[in-house]
Amino acid sequence: MPAHLTADIASRAAIPGMTRDWDFVASTIPGWRKRHIAKIMLSRSQRSPDWQEMHAVSAQAAWTVYFMFAPDGRFDPAHGFTLARLRDAGHRVMVVCATRAPADIPVEVERYADALYWKGLAGYDFSAYSAALREIARKSPHATVMVINDSVYGPFADVREALDSPPWDLTGFTATSEIENHIQSYAFVLQDVTRRRMLSLASVMFPVLALSQTDDVIQVQESRFARIASHTMRVGSYWYADGMQVVNPTLVRPIELVAAGFPFLKRSLTGKLQDRQNVAEIRELLFTLGHPVPA
């Protein structure tokens, strides 16, 4: 890897329009937004998707949870890259795989998963997070857990420090003021995962309900996660964008972030959101990082 891309997540490199090591500050929530959230929950929530244990979680000091969405049962090269990096980081890996049926879980997953769970296709990523964290709270209480979904490529930097000594009880990798101050939920670290902690997060990590539309999940769960968590724990993020110059840092500053030690690139930059950046540069960066370049 080139020298300018070897910084770890604690790098002090500056990024224009962004703040490092940000302590969460809750935004003021207007009444109309509270009513909007209530309306979504009343009109569009549904029962949590089906869930099945394939290989159980065991008691450990730390876990990495990787959520992969594979409706067609396909294990692509990006999944393999991520799981190999997570395995090589030295912590136990719990994979939650969403497919049409448990039999559709790709066989390749078995090579990497210390614990494996199947989830139905409904419910979006927060339904996977909620079920996985509750399972860890029950079977591996007090563990520190890093959660990652497959909307990102990577990790490209060493993430062991993020799991071994996270700066906050809830640590985000990036945060933004879009909608309200919040950590972005493609990856985060939660310390001391217990049933009590999960109870304190029940209004975003739903025990029995789920939302399946992208905007609903963003409005009700992702954007509220840090605020709800801040009632009972310390919350912060390695990087924060206040929205005046950078609205969504993972889409606006992806190359600068990776150079500064940020461990991920959003998959959408080579797919549905490739118009946000020069896709040729993103593909070249993936090649430079040793990541399979998508066709």
pLDDT at 16 (0 to 100): 85
Average pLDDT over residues 180-197: 98
Please state which of the ranges 64-78, 176-190, 247-261 shows the lowest mean pLDDT: 247-261
Tell me the pLDDT band of 277, cut-offs 50, 70 and 90.
confident
Q: What is the percent of the chain with per-residue pLDDT over 90, rounded to a whole number?
A: 88
pLDDT at 1 (0 to 100): 39
- Tens-digit pLDDT profile for residues 65-123: 999 999 999 999 999 999 999 999 999 999 999 999 999 999 999 999 999 999 999 99
Tell me the pLDDT band of 3, cut-offs 50, 70 and 90.
very low
> Residues 115, 55: contact at Cβ < 8 Å?
yes
Tell me the pLDDT band of 276, cut-offs 50, 70 and 90.
confident
Architecture of domain 30-245: Alpha-Beta Complex (3.90)
CA end-to-end span of the chain: 22
Pairwise CA distance, residues 271 & 278, whole Å: 12
- Select the more confidently predicted residue: 74 or 4: 74
**Cα dihedral: 132, 136, 142, 144 (round 10):** -50
Contacts of 96-102 with C-beta under 8 Å, sequence gap 24+, read: 96/65, 96/66, 96/67, 96/68, 96/128, 96/131, 96/132, 97/67, 97/68, 97/70, 98/49, 98/67, 98/68, 98/69, 98/70, 98/71, 98/128, 99/70, 99/71, 99/73, 100/71, 100/73, 102/52, 102/54
Tell me the pLDDT band of 25, cut-offs 50, 70 and 90.
very high
pLDDT at 8 (0 to 100): 62
- Paired strand residues for 93: 64
Pairwise CA distance, residues 228 & 241, whole Å: 20
The mean predicted confidence, pLDDT, of the chain is: 93
pLDDT at 257 (0 to 100): 94
pLDDT at 4 (0 to 100): 41
Is a pLDDT exceeding 60 seen at residue 7? no
Domain range summary for the chain, segments of one domain joined by +: 30-245
Kind and range of the H or E element at 65?
strand 62-69
Pairwise CA distance, residues 122 & 62, whole Å: 28
> Residues 95, 112: contact at Cβ < 8 Å?
yes
Tokens found for residue 278: 């020069």
Pairwise CA distance, residues 136 & 156, whole Å: 26
Is a pLDDT exceeding 50 seen at residue 201? yes
Is a pLDDT exceeding 80 seen at residue 253? yes
DSSP 169: S
φ, ψ at 241 (rounded to 5°): -120, 125
pLDDT at 244 (0 to 100): 77
Pairwise CA distance, residues 249 & 258, whole Å: 11
| Residue 1: exposure state from Cβ atoms within 10 A (0-12, 13-18, ≥19) | exposed
Is a pLDDT exceeding 70 seen at residue 6? no
Which among 136, 126, 51, 134 is positioned nearest to 93, based on CA atoms? Answer: 136
pLDDT at 2 (0 to 100): 41
pLDDT at 242 (0 to 100): 86
3-state secondary structure 92-110: EEEEEEECCCHHHCCHHHH
Tell me the pLDDT band of 245, cut-offs 50, 70 and 90.
confident
Is a pLDDT exceeding 90 seen at residue 255? yes
